[in-house]
């Protein structure tokens, strides 16, 4: 039993006025029904250092099915990590039950999933003999939950009942020192979940923090393990990095740690000034917004990485090879169209009829965003914005392919008993 550091409201800067109103609704309702309810993780960390959180996550003593009974707008997702998602329009507040740290093979599931509940398609599938945690539904106390988290600065809690900050692992001290430190042995934690190596580098880059030496040494020893992570999950992590505002530094640091070589040998080999300039432009665009704008679509993010280093395939049917990362062909095709429109967007003599035709293209808005980020042509960009503003309502794109309906398989009739 560890006595936490408890910082009362009068001694910290985190105000409820900075918390998302819908997250507050969830916290208050959980507390009203006698459940412990904390705001947890990155949202607490970011608010304490004056940053705007991307998400507001909640930890609670309520089990997922108990959360679902309290909120009609709640869905339970996942099998390896069962989570409650409380929906407010397009916004999702993630609610996780406090868990304890488990060892491989000792995982429990006291609150089993229902067959009808959606599962997370990015859940990793550890190989036989792996030391990765394959299921983590062994519920515990707030203290146990703090010690199972990855880094100390991500293990801070905000208690809605007392408005105090609770720290079991020294996260406040590390936050003040600007240090990324593992909870527990870094090597063990990285073997449990190799993606933590990537997150350590990305978090340090985003916050401009230093990484403690034991983490650096553990990454050098275990970096090849990151190839065991599920490729869709790794691709999603890459998109998060590109969308996060510190893409250039993160990719540089991943290259220096030789993690990038494990994730995508192609990207590692083609690191160049052209790539860094492109990522710098992407970061500059992202810095204009409090949170990632909808204009930063996956094709835009992907293109900022691969176009300047010549990795975009020239032919429609050629796949984009980035290690094992499963980049969708549709996104590659959208990127190819975005890039192909740039010469026409830069042409000041383009006839009005041709301009109107371009605005009907499904990738037109993304092509304008690309021009804004990478085009270096503010006059052309302003000219197109004026043109669109005077057009009035634009018709729906005419070049979208209709989605093919999948033919349902006929079930064979059961064999009759003879």
Give the position of tokens 């990015």: 122
Structure tokens at 217: 């040494």
Catalytic choice (46, 57, 136, 167): 57
Segment holding 305, helix H or strand E: helix 298-306
Rg (CA), the chain: 24
For residue 33, the SS3 value is coil
Catalytic choice (55, 109, 120, 365): 55
CB 276 within 8 A of CB 300: no
CA angle 102, 103, 105 (to 5 degrees): 110
CB 162 within 8 A of CB 8: yes
C-alpha distances (whole Å) from 241 to each of 17, 137, 150, 373 are 28, 28, 18, 17
Q: What strands, in cross-sheet order, belong to the sheet with 91-97? A: 5-7, 164-167, 156-159, 37-40, 57-60, 91-97, 83-88, 74-77
Q: For residue 138, what are the contacts with CB-CB under 8 A and spacing of at least 6?
A: 99, 100, 102, 106, 107, 108, 109, 110
Distance CA 229, CA 125 (A): 8
Burial class of residue 403 (count of CB atoms within 10 Å of its CB; 0-12, 13-18, 19+): exposed
Catalytic choice (46, 136, 145, 150): 150
Distance of CA 413 to the CA centre of its chain: 45
User: How crowded is the C-beta side of 392, counted as CA atoms within 13 Å?
Assistant: 1
The yes-or-no answer on residue 150 being catalytic is yes
The yes-or-no answer on residue 55 being catalytic is yes
The yes-or-no answer on residue 57 being catalytic is yes
Kindly list the catalytic residues. 55, 57, 150
């Amino acid at each position: 039993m560890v006595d936490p550091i408890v910082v009362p409201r009068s001694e910290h800067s985190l105000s409820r006025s900075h918390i998302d109103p819908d997250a507050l609704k969830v916290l208050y309702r959980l507390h009203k029904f006698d459940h412990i309810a904390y705001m947890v993780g990155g949202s607490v960390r970011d608010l304490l250092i004056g940053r705007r959180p991307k998400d507001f996550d909640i930890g609670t003593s309520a089990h997922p099915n108990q959360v679902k009974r309290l909120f009609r707008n709640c869905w339970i997702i996942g099998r390896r990590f069962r989570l409650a998602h409380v929906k407010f329009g397009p916004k999702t507040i993630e609610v996780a039950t406090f868990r304890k740290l488990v060892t491989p093979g000792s995982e429990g599931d006291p609150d089993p999933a229902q067959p009808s509940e959606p599962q997370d398609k990015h859940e990793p599938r550890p190989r036989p003999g792996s030391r990765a945690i394959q299921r983590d539904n062994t519920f515990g106390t707030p203290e146990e939950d703090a010690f199972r988290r990855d880094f100390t600065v991500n293990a801070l809690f905000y208690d809605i009942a007392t408005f105090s900050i609770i720290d079991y692992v020294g996260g406040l001290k590390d936050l003040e020192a600007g240090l990324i430190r593992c909870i527990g042995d870094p090597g063990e934690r990285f073997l449990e979940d190799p993606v933590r190596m990537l997150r350590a580098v990305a978090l340090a880059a985003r916050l401009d923090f230093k990484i403690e030496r034991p983490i650096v040494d553990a990454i050098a020893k275990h970096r090849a393990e990151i190839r065991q992570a599920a490729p869709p999950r790794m691709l999603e992590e890459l998109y998060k990095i590109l969308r996060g505002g510190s893409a250039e530094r993160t990719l540089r640091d991943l290259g220096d740690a030789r993690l990038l070589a494990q994730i995508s040998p192609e990207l590692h080999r083609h690191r160049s000034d052209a790539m860094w300039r492109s990522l710098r432009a992407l970061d500059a665009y992202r810095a204009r917004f409090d949170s990632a704008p909808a204009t930063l679509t996956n094709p835009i993010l992907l293109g900022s990485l691969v176009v300047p280093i010549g990795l975009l395939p020239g032919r429609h049917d050629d796949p984009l090879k980035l290690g094992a990362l499963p980049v969708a062909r549709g996104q590659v095709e959208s990127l190819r169209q975005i890039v192909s429109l740039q010469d026409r967007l830069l042409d000041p003599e383009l006839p009005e009829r041709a301009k109107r035709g371009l605005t009907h293209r499904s990738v037109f808005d993304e092509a304008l965003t690309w021009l804004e980020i990478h085009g270096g042509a503010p006059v052309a960009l302003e000219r197109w914005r004026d043109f669109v503003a005077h057009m009035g309502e634009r018709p729906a794109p005419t070049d979208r392919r209709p989605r093919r309906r999948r033919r349902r398989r006929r079930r064979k009739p059961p064999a009759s008993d003879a």
